[in-house]
Structure 1
Amino acid sequence: MKKIYIIRHCKAAGQEREAMLTVEGIEQAKQLAESLQQYEIKRIISSPFTRAIQTIEPFAKKAQIDIERDERLAERILSTQNIDDWLEKLQQTFLDMDVKYEGGESSKEATERINQLIEELFEASVEDAAIISHGNLLSLLITKYNSGFGFSGWQAMKNPDVFLLTKDGQDITIKRIDM
């Protein structure tokens, strides 16, 4: 049985690539590290964004696991232009996976990007892995396995948030883990 722990980063000070965790986020990361110790995680793959790395660093140090950085876990770009009604535009991308705004990535493209990594992890020899990424991208992945998650699921996500994706033979399930 393969297990992939899907982790949304802790509370951050912004959305830019180098945005760091807030003081609260740093405390959340320490608490997350304690909670994750009960699992058999052997591999960690993270978005290269600072807030994602900072989220998993306390656990990685305790577990003595190197953090692999993977661009496929980077934040999804909705558009390179400022969009006043960005929330409505984002919702539209959950309704139509092919919608794409200027300089952005469609939901279909983003889902394919992260799913490529998930498929590699399912094929890898390591049983239990953790990926650390961002709410928008992770909600698309969760929606792939639970169609009812969608935009409202994204809205309900917390910082941090943890889900468990399990593959047992051909059966794939996903569920939220309370931390």
Structure 2
Amino acid sequence: MTKVYFVRHAKPDFSIKDDLIQPLTEEGKNDCRRVTEFLLNRNIIKIFSSPYKRAIDTIKDFADIVGLEINIIEDFRERKIDSIWIEDFDKFAKEQWNNFDYKLSDGESLNEVQKRNITALRHILKENVNENIVIGTHGTALSTIISYFDKDFNYNEFERIKNFMPFVVCISFDGENIIKIEEFTLK
């Protein structure tokens, strides 16, 4: 059995509008210790992450303590909404969950996000059979992964977990077949 611990980043500083470099708040930095404590005795052998600073920083303390490198996987990045900041995120998110192909002119649909995340995940599953790994991720990216395996995961479920930061979801696999999904809130 392969266990993948998806770690959704801790609370970011929303005043920084550049998604790639958005840092964690002080609260978020403090919450990273909870992530470390949670992961410490899970026999993790590899760590992967989105290239976004908040995802990397959330798992960096753990990586440093256990002496593992964080392998950056571009395809685990968060969804691109558009080239401009969207003020009414809730309205936009609901529209995307109602239509997985909906996107703004310079953005990605949830279908596109899901496809690239699942492709990257499949590659990692093939290379890490029967191991425990960590993937630093984001709320929407993680939600599209969960919805791929659990068709009951919809907009309401996305809304339910939207403010869980940090948040860990452990998905257990037999090959590429899902065995179970477990959620862990670290507050």
TM-score between the two structures when normalised by the length of structure 1: 0.92
Cα deviation per residue 1:105-157 (whole Å; 9 max; x = unaligned)?
01111000100111012111351111111111111111111222222222222
Tell me, yes or no, if structure 1 residue 136 matches structure 2 residue 137: no
- Corresponding residue to 2:171 among 150, 165, 173: 165
Distance 2:183 2:47 in 1: 19
Mapping 1:111-126, distance limit 5 Å: 111-125=114-128
Quickly say closer, same or farther: Cα 1:113–1:96, change in 2 above 3 A. same
Q: What percent identity do the matched residue pairs reach? A: 29
Q: Give matches, 1:1-179, under 5 Å.
A: 1-14=1-14, 15-16=17-18, 17-125=20-128, 127-157=131-161, 158-169=164-175, 171-172=177-178, 173-179=180-186
Distance in structure 1 (CA, Å) of the matches to 2:157 and 2:95: 14
Q: Secondary structure of 1:116's match? A: helix
Query: In 1, distance between residues paired with 2:134 and 2:57?
Result: 14
Where does the alignment leave 5 or more consecutive residues of structure 1 unmatched? none
Calculate the TM-score normalised by the size of structure 2: 0.89
Q: Distance in 2 between matches of 1:170 and 1:53?
A: 25
Q: Check conservation: 2:2, 2:128, Cα contact below 8 A.
A: no
The 3 A distance-change label for structure 1 pair 170 and 22 is closer
Aligned structure 1 segments of 4 or more residues deviating by more than 4 angstroms = none
Tell me: CA distance 1:68–1:148, structure 2 relative to 1, closer, same or farther (3 Å).
Answer: same
SS in 2 for 1:42: strand
Alignment CA distance shift 1:84-1:13 (3 Å): closer
CA distance in 2, matches of 1:4, 1:169: 12
Q: Distance in 1 between matches of 2:128 and 2:177?
A: 18
RMSD: 1.6
How many residues are matched? Answer: 179
- Counterpart CA distance in 2 for 1:166 and 1:41 is 13
Amino acid at match of 2:146: I
Is the 1:78–1:90 contact (alpha carbons within 8 Å) kept by the matching residues of 2?
no
